[in-house]
Amino acid sequence: MTRRLRFGLFDQMENDGDTPLADQYSQHLQLARAADQAGFTHWFKSEHHHVPLDIAPSINVLLSAVIRETSTIRVSSLVHLLPFYDPMRLYEELCMLDHLGHGRLDVGFGKGISPPEQMLWGIPRDEATERTEETLDYVLSAMNLVSKEGLGILFNYEGQFSSAKERPLEIAPYQNPHPPLWRPGTLSTAAKLGVSTIIPGPMKLIPERVAAYREEQNGDGAGGHPPILSTLRRVVVASTHRQATEIATRAWKHFDANLTKLFRQYDMWPPTMVPSFLGDVDKAFETESLIAGTPTQVSEYFDQFEQESGLEHVTICPAFGNVSGAEARATLDLFCEAVLTS
């Protein structure tokens, strides 16, 4: 049977607490190369600041490194925290990344889930959504203009938080008019924008959420790029079920500690469910946020997922919490052998 599912790889880039930082960077870049060589469609990276959840807070620097290390896989943020950026600098850097990858760049955007990170960067919580929308509008307006009019065109923009007056655009995206876009978090927003998204939840709930997206979908895709509907699964594969479960349980608790460190320190919490379920591993398994097992068990799960979910794309995360570089690579290798080649 030819598998219909395609796979992306999400790298949390957490501090594992033991390995020197330079070595962690090397291990994560090796993982990206392996995913590229195995035929994964996308490599994704989130953005966080002031927290051990993210040892690579300069997301554009890391995207550049991954682009240089790979050849075919699409490289994407998931997401750029738009309120944190000067919009013109972001525009120029995204255009540059798009050229470095010869059109392999996707761009995820959002405001982030962490109130403390916003606070530490001086972003009022009640302005985060509006700043996100305005920065996106600024960047896409510039990309659409230069794609239509050519280099040297003068860009003007007047917003609540940023403006531009006759600023010459001397770099344009490689992809016309702009790279494919991703908006996780709110299905309705993603659908109305016609962009790709990550659909949360166990497989039994995904078909109705896919239907909800399709019902609200606006057009065939922003910028002419058909949207991809994916889901995220943190995955551990090992030779025995017990070993896989032990690694997954240990790593999930470390993931929760990293994710919630600032929430606890400042007693500032997201308005929605914390993705780590406050360290509740049973809840993680129950919601299929976490998958652990032998190669056969994981392959059987994705066989069922392909038949029942209605999705054609899944994003896996083998490197999270304190999963070691060797453990993440073992999961990826076993996953590829059992799932990609089955």
Considering the domain boundaries, does residue 24 fall inside one?
yes
Q: Strands, E, within 220-338: which ranges?
A: 229-230, 232-237, 290-293, 313-317
**121 φ, ψ to 5°?**
-95, 10
What six digits make up the tokens of 226?
A: 């058909």
Quote the domain boundaries for residue 8.
1-41+228-342
Euclidean distance between CA atoms 134 and 310, whole angstroms = 34
Q: Average pLDDT of 295-309?
A: 97
Residue 189 has pLDDT above 90, yes or no: yes
Dihedral pair phi/psi, residue 232, rounded to 5°: -115, 130
Q: Which pLDDT value is given to residue 2?
A: 67
Among all chains, which residue has been given the structure tokens 């659908």?
Answer: 191
Instruction: Calculate the average pLDDT of the chain.
Output: 96
110-159, pLDDT tens digit by residue?
A: 999 999 999 999 999 999 999 999 999 999 999 999 999 999 999 999 99
- Please tell me the distance from the alpha carbon of residue 98 to that of residue 105, in angstroms, as a whole number: 5
pLDDT band at 1 (very low <50, low <70, confident <90, very high): low
Q: Residue 218 falls within a domain, yes or no?
A: no
Q: Strands 181-182 and 197-198, how do they pair?
A: unpaired
pLDDT of residue 332: 98
Q: How far apart are CA 141 and CA 316, in angstroms?
A: 33
- The answer to whether residue 192 is domain-embedded is no
Beta bridge partners of 291: 235
pLDDT of residue 300 exceeding 60? yes
> Is residue 133 assigned to a domain?
no
In a domain, 48, yes or no: no
- Arithmetic mean of pLDDT, 50-76: 98
Q: Using only C-alpha atoms, what is the Rg of the chain? A: 20
**Predicted pLDDT of residue 191:** 97
Mean pLDDT of 170-174: 98
Average pLDDT on 57-81 reads 98
Residue 336 lies in a domain: yes
Return the pLDDT at 274. Answer: 85
- CA dist 167 and 119 (Å) reads 30
Q: Which of 81-95, 112-126, 267-281 has the lowest mean pLDDT?
A: 267-281
Count: domains in the chain: 1
Give pLDDT, residue 342: 66
pLDDT of residue 218: 87
**Is residue 211 in a domain?**
no
Q: 139 in helix, strand or coil?
A: helix
What pLDDT, on a 0 to 100 scale, did the predictor assign at position 171?
98
pLDDT of residue 212: 96
- CA dist list (Å): 49 to 52, 99, 126, 324: 8, 27, 19, 22
Q: Distance between the two ends of the chain, CA-based, in angstroms?
A: 8
Which whole number is the average pLDDT over 269-293? 93
Which residue's entry shows tokens 């009022």?
Answer: 124
pLDDT at 64 over 80: yes
Residue bearing tokens 């001086």: 122
Q: What is the pLDDT of residue 219?
A: 87
Contacts of 26 (CB under 8 A, 6+ apart): none
Quick one: pLDDT at residue 272?
82
Q: What is the pLDDT of residue 186?
A: 86
Long-range pairs for 55-62 at CB < 8 Å and ≥24 separation?
55/13, 55/14, 55/15, 55/21, 55/24, 55/25, 56/13, 56/25, 56/28, 60/93, 60/94, 60/97, 62/13
Per-residue pLDDT, 175: 98
- In this structure, is residue 195 part of a structural domain? no
